[in-house]
Structure 1
């Protein structure tokens, strides 16, 4: 099926639901405020404190294994000082997505979804650092939201999604291909349409649409390749909310790795096997991060 037709189908699907979530206003205002030149730390702290749920999540996240403070941080202002403005944007953006999907447990368990999404975000950031991609924060954020289309299908199209999963029980399958068969589109196109609706930057939208096909990217193939590899890695490390889709992974043989080597020639000297072991070492802390921050999400 042609990509244009799948995007049209996804667009019609997204527009057909009037109760689609929106990014919480406080988080959006925090992100906008951080983009202003000369913004004061107290302004950002006051804005975050205006939303006690957001403030509590920021505190929990800054004390997680991912950020590793030497001593427990108990105030938003201290968190801002410790992390710096760039990381606070990460936290505000992340927490906004937690609020969007809280209570929206569909066919997939939402806690497992967050483990995968955070895993992809963290691993994407590590890969971005290793290849010297200029905006590691962007790689992290896109990694977190790359599968938003999956949540939409899992929540808003539960009956059809259940039929899809029933049809492949015990069989190897690629989820995107089965989605096209059952929906006429896939989570890639649905996520792309959602990202446009939320006014995400164009390179974010592209990476969401093409995280399984980075070779088709025109705006930022390096970003798409980073997210693609992070997604594959997390899937084979059991940070995979689907649980039964077929995935194979050999970093050195992936098309996305070739894209990254074209961007960063120094990767030719990288010990790929050792790098994969380094990434595997981060899996437990990703799981602990989700457990500590998103308490109650996905609880039955």
Structure 2
């Protein structure tokens, strides 16, 4: 073990969901946990393995390899290392050591018991979601829901939403060199409703050529494989915005409408920003709040939560980033979209790069979508948002972006129409 690493209650507090535990619980956990060290290039976790332990990265750098061969690195102390590595079991990733690394290893059963028994007053001064003696019963109820959610997630009793079938199958074949337009069309045609949406979109003002297309294959040829894949994923997302409870349909509808608005604004912004793909930006906008969907669905089990709009919003705000990242990692989505989900609500986020990325696009798109919303009076001035400064490299200053949004209103409405302005949560 690296000599500078000390295991105590404060050291555990920097990891999620260990920060949910009381100090006494973290002290107990510190005695039950153990360290594991791995040399450079060593395989730490095998994809498909099942060992009932959680691994928290303490030092060094690791690489996660997805089933499709894509990789991403995680460095100790970074935002990506603040939760258990490759948590879902069986493991969804193969984890390798890029450098010598140290891990804190905790038995999931032990952590699950502590999470389930964590007292309501376990939050301490300065924590993000504190519950004081004067807190209302509703606040305590919300906290208990959060603890229950974390417990079920850690014990694998919570099922993450699956990527809709047609989108999954398209993603499986789209990156293969030998894949043809006929191959893509064959998969899309297996879902007649999806084929109709794709042809309709291809004939819309956004993608229209000299002549209308009438077949799915012709639509794929005109759009290209990448755009087809992105549009199929976008259209598939609508299936997820549903709830069995009448009381939660409004929350799902509002979530869809916001996501669609952000997606359409992101499309316009990316179209004007050098180096960014407008269809990828639209997909980023549509999935930036994907983590809210399972939280709202989970709330079906807690009438006291979905009956209180504020309590439900608190639960969504607390969990959507972490859950959203977990979902996209589970689906094998690229790192730039995982970054979007993680940072979409962080107005002061700065990646450190001078070049704008999709997280910057979504932050700016969200701020435009939320302007004038009476419930969101916490937005900072545009001039203080790093994302705006990066978009300015393409000429989109805060002042000009407002003018652009006004001028592009017709296009934004057309994009929303393509996404489905007749959407209803059944």
The equivalent residue for 2:224 is: 84
Q: Deviations over 1:217-256 (max 9, x none)?
A: 4698732111111112123377xxxx84445475444332
2:388 aligned residue (257, 269, 284): 257
Distance 1:193 1:161, change over 3 A: farther
More displaced, 193-202 or 18-27?
18-27
The equivalent residue for 1:227 is: 362
Tell me the CA shift for residue 66 of structure 1: 4.0
Tell me the CA shift for residue 40 of structure 1: 1.6
Q: How far apart, CA to CA, are the structure 2 residues paired with 1:115 and 1:126?
A: 17
The equivalent residue for 1:298 is: 425
What does 1:31-180 correspond to in 2, within 5 Å? 31-64=171-204, 66-68=206-208, 72-102=212-242, 106=248, 108-158=250-300, 159=302, 161-162=305-306, 164-166=308-310, 178-179=314-315
Tell me the CA shift for residue 77 of structure 1: 1.6
Classify the secondary structure of the residue corresponding to 2:425: coil
Q: How far apart, CA to CA, are the structure 2 residues paired with 1:42 and 1:280?
A: 36
Q: How far apart, CA to CA, are the structure 2 residues paired with 1:156 and 1:222?
A: 32
Q: How far apart, CA to CA, are the structure 2 residues paired with 1:34 and 1:4?
A: 35
Backbone CA RMSD of aligned residues: 3.6
Cα contact 2:235–2:419 (8 A) shared by 1: no
- Larger C-alpha radius of gyration, 1 or 2? 2
Q: How far apart, CA to CA, are the structure 2 residues paired with 1:269 and 1:103?
A: 37
Q: How far apart, CA to CA, are the structure 1 residues paired with 2:203 and 2:371?
A: 28
Q: Which runs of 5+ in 1 are unaligned?
A: 169-174
What does 1:203-222 correspond to in 2, within 5 Å? 203-213=336-346, 215=349, 217=351, 222=357
Q: How far apart, CA to CA, are the structure 1 residues paired with 2:174 and 2:291?
A: 27
Q: How far apart, CA to CA, are the structure 2 residues paired with 1:11 and 1:196?
A: 18
- How many residue pairs were aligned? 280
Cα contact 2:243–2:249 (8 A) shared by 1: no
Classify the secondary structure of the residue corresponding to 1:208: helix
Which structure's relative contact order is higher, taking Cα pairs within 8 Å and 6+ residues apart? 1
Classify the secondary structure of the residue corresponding to 2:344: coil
Distance 1:59 1:135, change over 3 A: closer
Distance 1:75 1:113, change over 3 A: farther
Structure with more of its chain in strand, by fraction: 2
The equivalent residue for 2:41 is: none
What is the TM-score with the length of structure 2 in the denominator? 0.55
The equivalent residue for 1:172 is: none
Q: How far apart, CA to CA, are the structure 1 residues paired with 2:327 and 2:178?
A: 32
Q: Which runs of 5+ in 2 are unaligned?
A: 1-12, 20-81, 84-146
Q: How far apart, CA to CA, are the structure 2 residues paired with 1:224 and 1:269?
A: 17
